[in-house]
């Protein structure tokens, strides 16, 4: 066992864990602020300057609320549901390359927890398990609204994972790799462009599916507070509810990171290599570039949420099965044909 490697990874995991949770916390603040601005309001501004302490106040509120476990619920599953959801949301951050490597006196410090050569497959596996968190939580509540929400979440996630997978297949044909590090590096350097230019249809499909996978508006049918009260988290209270709500924002953060990595060059930007920066500076710049892209996509998630109304259930299924899946298959065929005949 290489102790230096273990130490490196432990430090990195702790940092990523903290940053993910921090960004998720401030996403709740950002969401409320952006919602307010888009509706000509001000939003939270009482807790601290500009309301910046609001997420902390919300966190304290969540922790100190009364913990209610319904008597008719399956207690073990009721508790494990939100835990699974939160855990999978955090696990998917392991394969994301957060920037170029640092170099401390000859010691390479990689900013990726695990450079799996099956990175994207791992991502899909983890995201699929996330669906279980919602399903188990909704089913264990023993409440019809929660059950309906859980059912919707399950069917929605399965439907949209297919199209998402197919859009990734087209990406693989171009990049010849499942490793996220290689996909990101394949978008930089001479003659290479961002994948969004090479795969515009695939990007659109992936983006729509990412919205659906995160249960974000306009695909927030599992929650749909106006029809199902709170959907799968109707019966949850206190920090278990907090975990569900929080995990949604962690998911959003990770999805934004993956969209940025897969289609927008990750931590690269055009011309980054011509600057000829020292390695450690270049690493810091690359982190900043990636986070700028991530923040933009988080903003985009919110922007869409406060623009579009929710889909009806049949519209959701029509869009998934009758439009996105055929479109993604055609996209794979066209990409394959292009590679076969023109490369």
Partner 1 sequence: MHGLLSSNNQITPNTKTELDMQLTNRSKVVVKHDLNWLEKLYLPAIFSGLAITIKHLFKKSATVRYPEEKREIASVYRGQHVLKRDDKGRENCTACGLCAVACPAEAISIEAAERKKGEENLYREEKYAAKYEINMLRCIYCGLCEDACPKDAIYLSDRIVPTAFSRGNFIYGKDILVEGIDASGRVDVSKRKKNYEMEGSPKQPLLNK
Considering only 41, 75, 312, 322, the residue that binds partner 1 (CB under 8 A) is: 41
d(CA 39, CA 162): 35
For 122, how many CA atoms within 13 A lie in the half-sphere containing its CB? Answer: 17
The CB-of-41 to partner 1 minimum distance in angstroms stands at 5
x-or-dash string of contact with partner 1, 121-140, rule CB under 8 A:
--------------------
The CB-of-307 to partner 1 minimum distance in angstroms stands at 4
Told to check if 45 binds partner 1 by CB under 8 A, we report yes
Shorter beta-carbon distance to partner 1: residue 36 or 329: 36
How many residues of this chain interact with partner 1, rule: CB under 8 A?
Answer: 14
Output the CA torsion sign for 79, 84, 85, 90: positive
Shorter beta-carbon distance to partner 1: residue 202 or 265: 202
* Under 8 Å between Cβ of 78 and 68: no
Stretch that binds partner 1, among 5-13, 155-163, 251-259, 302-310 (CB under 8 A): 302-310
Angstrom distances, CA of residue 320 to CA of 68, 282, 314 = 36, 41, 10
* Under 8 Å between Cβ of 142 and 304: no
Told to check if 330 binds partner 1 by CB under 8 A, we report no
The CB-of-308 to partner 1 minimum distance in angstroms stands at 7
189-227 burial code (b ≥16 CB/10 A, e <16): eeeeebbbebbeebbbbbbbbbbbbbbbbbbbbbbbeee
Q: Quote the DSSP letter at residue 102.
A: E
Pick from 239, 240, 242: nearest CA to 140: 240
* Terminal CA-CA length for the chain: 44
The CB-of-70 to partner 1 minimum distance in angstroms stands at 33
Considering only 307, 318, 338, 339, the residue that binds partner 1 (CB under 8 A) is: 307
The CB-of-256 to partner 1 minimum distance in angstroms stands at 17
Told to check if 274 binds partner 1 by CB under 8 A, we report no
The CB-of-233 to partner 1 minimum distance in angstroms stands at 27
Stretch that binds partner 1, among 120-128, 188-196, 230-238, 306-314 (CB under 8 A): 306-314
Stretch that binds partner 1, among 5-13, 32-40, 133-141, 154-162 (CB under 8 A): 32-40
Residues of this chain, 149-188, that bind partner 1 according to CB under 8 A: none
The CB-of-73 to partner 1 minimum distance in angstroms stands at 37
Told to check if 304 binds partner 1 by CB under 8 A, we report yes
Shorter beta-carbon distance to partner 1: residue 105 or 309: 309
* Under 8 Å between Cβ of 253 and 167: no
Pick from 315, 136, 304: nearest CA to 236: 136
What single string gives the DSSP state of each residue in 308-325? SPPPPHHHHHIIIIIIIH
Cα dihedral value 7, 10, 13, 18, nearest 10: -110
Shorter beta-carbon distance to partner 1: residue 45 or 227: 45
Shorter beta-carbon distance to partner 1: residue 34 or 262: 34
Told to check if 38 binds partner 1 by CB under 8 A, we report yes
Output the CA torsion sign for 46, 51, 57, 58: positive
Q: What angle do CA 149, 17, 86 make, to 5 degrees?
A: 15
Considering only 37, 63, 76, 338, the residue that binds partner 1 (CB under 8 A) is: 37
Told to check if 303 binds partner 1 by CB under 8 A, we report yes
d(CA 248, CA 261): 20
Told to check if 36 binds partner 1 by CB under 8 A, we report yes
Q: Name the site residues for partner 1 (rule: CB under 8 A).
A: 34, 36-42, 45, 303-304, 306-308
């Amino acid at each position: 066992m290489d102790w230096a490697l273990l130490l490196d990874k432990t430090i990195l995991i702790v940092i990523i864990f903290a940053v993910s949770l921090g960004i998720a916390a401030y996403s709740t603040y950002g969401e409320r602020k952006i919602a307010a601005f888009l509706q000509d309001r001000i939003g939270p501004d009482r807790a601290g300057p500009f309301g910046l302490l609001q997420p902390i106040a919300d966190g304290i509120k969540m922790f100190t609320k009364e913990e209610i476990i319904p008597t008719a619920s399956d207690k073990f599953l009721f508790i494990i549901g939100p835990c699974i959801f939160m855990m999978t949301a955090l696990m998917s951050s392991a394969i994301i390359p957060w920037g170029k490597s640092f170099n401390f006196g000859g010691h390479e410090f990689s900013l990726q927890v695990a450079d799996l050569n099956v990175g994207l497959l791992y991502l899909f596996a983890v995201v699929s398990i996330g669906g279980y968190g919602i399903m188990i939580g909704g089913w264990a509540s023993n409440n019809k609204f929660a059950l309906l929400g859980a059912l919707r979440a399950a069917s929605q996630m399965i439907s949209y994972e297919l199209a998402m997978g197919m859009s990734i297949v087209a990406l693989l044909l171009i990049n010849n790799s499942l490793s996220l590090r290689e996909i990101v590096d394949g978008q930089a350097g001479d003659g290479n462009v961002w994948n969004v230019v090479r795969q515009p249809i695939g990007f659109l499909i992936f983006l729509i599916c990412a919205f659906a996978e995160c249960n974000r508006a306009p695909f927030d049918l599992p929650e749909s507070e106006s029809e199902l009260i709170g959907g799968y988290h109707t019966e949850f209270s206190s920090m278990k509810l907090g975990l569900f709500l929080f995990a949604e924002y962690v998911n959003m953060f990770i999805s934004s990171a993956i969209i940025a990595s897969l289609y927008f060059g990750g931590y690269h930007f055009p011309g980054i290599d011509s600057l000829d920066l020292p390695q450690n500076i270049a690493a810091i710049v690359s982190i900043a570039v990636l986070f700028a892209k991530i923040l933009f996509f988080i903003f985009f998630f919110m922007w869409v949420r406060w623009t579009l109304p929710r889909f009806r259930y049949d519209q959701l299924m029509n869009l998934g099965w009758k439009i996105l899946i055929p479109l993604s298959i055609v996209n794979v065929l066209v990409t394959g044909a292009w590679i076969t005949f023109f490369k």
